[in-house]
Amino acid sequence: MVKGQDLAVSLEEFGLSKYEAQAYVTLITKGTISAAELAYYSNLPRTKVYPTLLKLEKKKIAIISKTKPIMCTGIAPEDAFDELVQEHINKVNGMNNLVTKLKEVSEDSKKARGSEEKRYFHLTPNYVFKQLETMIEGSKTSIHVIVDSWGLNLFSQCKESLIHAIRKNIDIKIIIPPSLVGSETFRAIPDDVKIKCADVSQNSIMFDDSEILMINSNNGKGAIFLSTEVLGTNQAKTFEQTWKNAIKTNNLSDMTKIDAQETLKIIQAINENGLGFVLNSVLQSKNKEIDMLEFLEKNGVDLEAKTIDEIITLVDSTLQITCSGQARYEPQGNHIIIESKLNSGHSLPWALLLEGYLHKKGFKTKMMYNNHNHSGEKIHIKVDSKLDSN
C-alpha cells in the first residue's frame, strides 16, 4: 500500500508545495475536518494551516467553510487534477506538433539542397515498446512486419493500438515463424490483422513503406531508420516476396497449438516434397499404391489414430490454406470431393492422403481427377460403403 507521505511527495510534481501536498492527502483521507484537526493530522505548523488552505482553495482542490470553526474538505482527486492533467497533455501534444513541423521544415530544406540525409536512431530496450506503440498509432497506410518470438510478444502488448490502426483501414500484415502459430502471443493479435508464417528469424517492422524499426531479440535494443529510400525499397521487396511464399494462418486460429503445429508440419512436408514423392512413385511403379501416410510418418506425423472426420477436417483446412481449396464428404453419393483453385496437381497429394487412410481402414475407393484449366482442379474419391464418422 502507498503511504500518505509517499503520495504527498509525488503530489509536489503537480506544483503543490510540501505543506499543500501534506494537507490535501490528509483531507482526502479524513474527509471534512476542522482547521485545527488538519494541523494535527498533517503535522503542519498552526500558523501555516490557514494560508495553506487558502492556496488549496485557489487551486480548486479544497473547500473552506465560511462559518466558525473553519471546516475544510478536499475535492475528489479525479475532479481536482483532471484539468491539470489535461493541461499537461495539451502541452505535450503541442510540443509533438512543434517537433513534427520542425522536422518537415528540415526535410524540405534538405530536398531543396538536392540531398537527403540518411539517419538512424538507437533505442534502449526499455524505450522500444513505447516507440513501437507510437509508430503504430502514427502509421497512415501500412504496417508490414517480420518478427520472431521477441517481436511478436511486443506486438501482442500493442492490441489497443493495433485495433485503432485497423479502424483507420491500415494494411497490417505480420510474418512469424511456424513455431509461434497457436501460441498465446499469436492469439493476442486482433483477428483483422493478417498473419502468415515462414522461416524467419528477425524483427523488422516497416511503417508506410518508409520508416523501419529493427529490434535485436538478443538484447532488446532497437534502431529506427528514417528517410532511407534504398533500404526502404529493398525491405519492401523482401517483405512482398516472403509474404507471397508464406503459409496462411487464418484457418489455424481456432485450433489448439498442438493441432495447429501438426497441420503446419503436414503442409510443410507436402509442400516441400509431397508432389515430388507422388510423381516419383508413379514413375517407379504405376501399380504400386502411393503411401502418403508412410511418407508423413517419416516426416514426423502419425495420422492413423485419427477418425475419418478428423482427417477430412484436416485436409479441408490445409487445402484452404495452401490453394484456397476445400475437402468435403457427400453422404448422398458416398464420395469425398477435393477441390483446388490451383492446377498442376496441387491437390493430388492430399487426395492420396485421404485415399491411403481409407485403405488402411479397410475401405475400397475409386479416384477421378478433373483438371479445369481456368477454375482449378477437382478430385472425386468414390467410397465402396458408407463412412463411419466414429
Distance of CA 86 to the CA centre of its chain: 30
State the CB neighbour count (10 A cutoff) for residue 315: 25
**Cα torsion for 226, 230, 232, 233, to the nearest 10°?**
160
pLDDT band at 142; cut points 50, 70, 90: very high
What pLDDT does 143 receive?
Answer: 93
Would you state the pLDDT for residue 166?
Answer: 92
The secondary structure of 344-361 as a DSSP string is TTTTHHHHHHHHHHHHHT
Question: Would you say residue 306 has pLDDT above 70?
Answer: yes
248: alpha, beta or left? (left if phi > 0; alpha if psi -120 to 50): beta
If one compares 384 and 166, the residue with the highest pLDDT of the two is 166
Total residue count of the chain as it appears in this document: 390
Query: 181 with 197: CB under 8 angstroms?
Result: yes
- Report how far Cα 321 is from the mean position of its chain's Cα atoms: 20
Whole-Å CA distances, 348 to 76, 322, 359: 71, 13, 16
The pLDDT of residue 145? 93
pLDDT of 16-71, one tens digit each?
Answer: 888 988 898 899 888 899 988 998 998 889 889 989 999 989 888 899 988 888 89
Whether the link from the prior residue into 125 is cis, omega within 30° of 0, is no
- Tracing cell 475419418 back to the chain, one arrives at 308
User: Is there a contact between 368 and 288 (Cβ–Cβ < 8 Å)?
Assistant: no
Pairing of strands 222-226, 247-248: unpaired
At residue 302, the pLDDT reads 83
pLDDT digits (tens, 9 = 90+) for 318-366: 888 877 888 888 888 788 888 888 766 677 788 888 888 888 888 888 8
Q: What is the pLDDT of residue 3?
A: 52
CA 351 to CA 354: how far, in whole Å? Answer: 5
Alpha helices in the chain (DSSP H): 4-11, 18-30, 35-42, 46-58, 77-80, 82-112, 125-138, 149-156, 159-167, 184-188, 229-245, 257-269, 275-284, 292-298, 308-323, 348-360
- Owner of C-alpha cell 508464406: 246
Asked if residue 129 has pLDDT above 60, the reply is yes
Calculate Rg over the CA atoms of the chain. Answer: 33
Does the pLDDT value for residue 271 go beyond 80?
A: no
Cα–Cα distance list, 249 to 82, 254, 349 (Å): 44, 10, 20
Q: What is the pLDDT of residues 93-120, one digit of tens each?
A: 888 888 888 877 777 765 554 444 445 6
Q: Exposed, middle or buried by CB within 10 Å (0-12, 13-18, 19+), for 345?
A: middle
Nearest to 23 by CA among 5, 13, 386, 14: 5
Q: Are 366 and 347 in contact (CB under 8 A)?
A: no
Q: Which residue has the cell 491437390?
A: 347
**pLDDT of residue 1 exceeding 60:** no
pLDDT at residue 117, as a whole number? 44
3-state secondary structure of 374: coil
Q: Which residue has the cell 504496417?
A: 143
Q: What are the tens digits of pLDDT across the range 277-286?
A: 665 665 555 5
User: What is the pLDDT of the chain when averaged over all its residues?
Assistant: 82
Taking only the tens place, the pLDDT of each residue in 163-217 is 999 999 999 999 999 899 989 999 899 988 999 998 888 889 999 888 888 899 8
- Give residue 115's pLDDT: 46
pLDDT of residue 11: 77
- Residue predicted with more confidence, 230 or 369: 369
Condensed to tens digits (0 to 9), the pLDDT of residues 212-268 reads 888 998 888 888 887 556 667 788 888 899 998 888 888 787 888 888 888 888 888
pLDDT of 377 higher than 90: no
The model's pTM is 0.59
Rounded alpha-carbon distances, angstroms, from residue 6 to 10, 21, 25, 76: 6, 10, 10, 18
Three-state SS at 389: coil
